[in-house]
Amino acid sequence: MPTKKPTIAVMYFPGNNCEEETLIAVKAAGMDGKILRWNTKENLRNFDGFVIPGGFAYEDRIRAGVIEAKDPVMGLIKEEAEKGKPVLGICNGAQALVETGIIPGLKDKVEMALAPNKNPFVSGYYNAWICIKSSQNKTRTAYTGFYDKNEILQVPVAHGEGRFITKDKSLIKELIKNKQIIFQYCTKEGSLIDEFPINPNGSMLNIAAVCNKKGNVMAIMPHPERAVWKRQLPDEKKNDEKTNSIKIFESMRGYITKNQKI
């Protein structure tokens, strides 16, 4: 009897973008999916996981992701995350997860911020191709199951507020201790150099992605859904092979299949 494909809800808020690319990546990874508006009447409990895409939800008024984080549907997604379902926030979605406190999720409050980029040449929004590497082992999260530790991905960043920061030194120690730093900005060879353009926004510890302690929720600032096929990369042409960015979504599929009855 064939195994049922996991079904992913790609949540759309006013001002989001890349929801179509995200859904394409979900399906390319062997899952089913559906784009749902923030005010959907569908029962979210029927979905096996969630992706919150990038963009500028609610025009990023006040600060990036904060109004989106207060939307009632985020409370429902938090409830599903607490059941162990995977929730992936990309760029603006990552900002929203931080603003809800789901990331890093060690206390029931906002513990981090995604601050304006620190960049010596560009003030505000910055868009470029960069490299990140997987900083944990295969079993650490729902998004690393198909990665080797220190495996390098080429992906784009496109944000104005992507700098993971906190003034809480004890939180930094906890993130390291709990292995919650999942992807870090690096050189093409994998070196962690804390300077522009290697670290494109000045993020502490070169952080590109953070997960919750359980590992089923991840906030990532770069856009893996924009780099699923080699033809999308700046130095490739007409190549329909998949890149290793798809492994984030394939790992999500593997996690659901292993941990949930579908």
Other Cβ atoms less than 10 A from the Cβ of 3: the count is 8
| Residues 231/236/238/239 CA torsion (nearest 10 deg) | -70
Provide the percentage of residues in the chain whose pLDDT is more than 70: 98
Mark residue 252 as left, alpha or beta (left: phi above 0; alpha: psi -120 to 50; beta: remaining). alpha
Check whether the bond before 222 is cis (ω within 30° of 0): no
Question: Over the stretch 60-113, which tens digit does the pLDDT of each residue have?
Answer: 888 888 999 999 999 999 999 999 999 999 999 999 999 999 999 999 889 999
Mean pLDDT of 163-167: 94
Q: How far is CA 115 from CA 39, 69, 119, 215, 217, in A?
A: 28, 16, 12, 23, 20
For residue 154, the cross-strand partners are 131
Axis-axis angle for helices 19-28, 246-259 (nearest 10): 60
Which residues are marked as active site? 91, 223, 225
CA distance 195 to 185: 10
Flag the least confident range among 1-10, 114-123, 152-161.
Answer: 1-10
Q: Give the pLDDT score at 190.
A: 97
CA distance 27 to 23: 6
Q: Tell me if the domain spanning 7-259 has CATH number 3.40.50.1100.
A: no
Give every CB contact of residue 55 below 8 A, 6+ residues apart in sequence. 13, 15, 16, 17, 18, 91, 92
> Hey, is 152 helix, strand or coil?
strand
Domain ranges (residues) in the chain: 7-259
Q: Give the pLDDT score at 238.
A: 75
Give every CB contact of residue 94 below 8 A, 6+ residues apart in sequence. 65, 103, 114, 209, 219, 220, 221
Helix (H) or strand (E) holding 88: strand 87-90
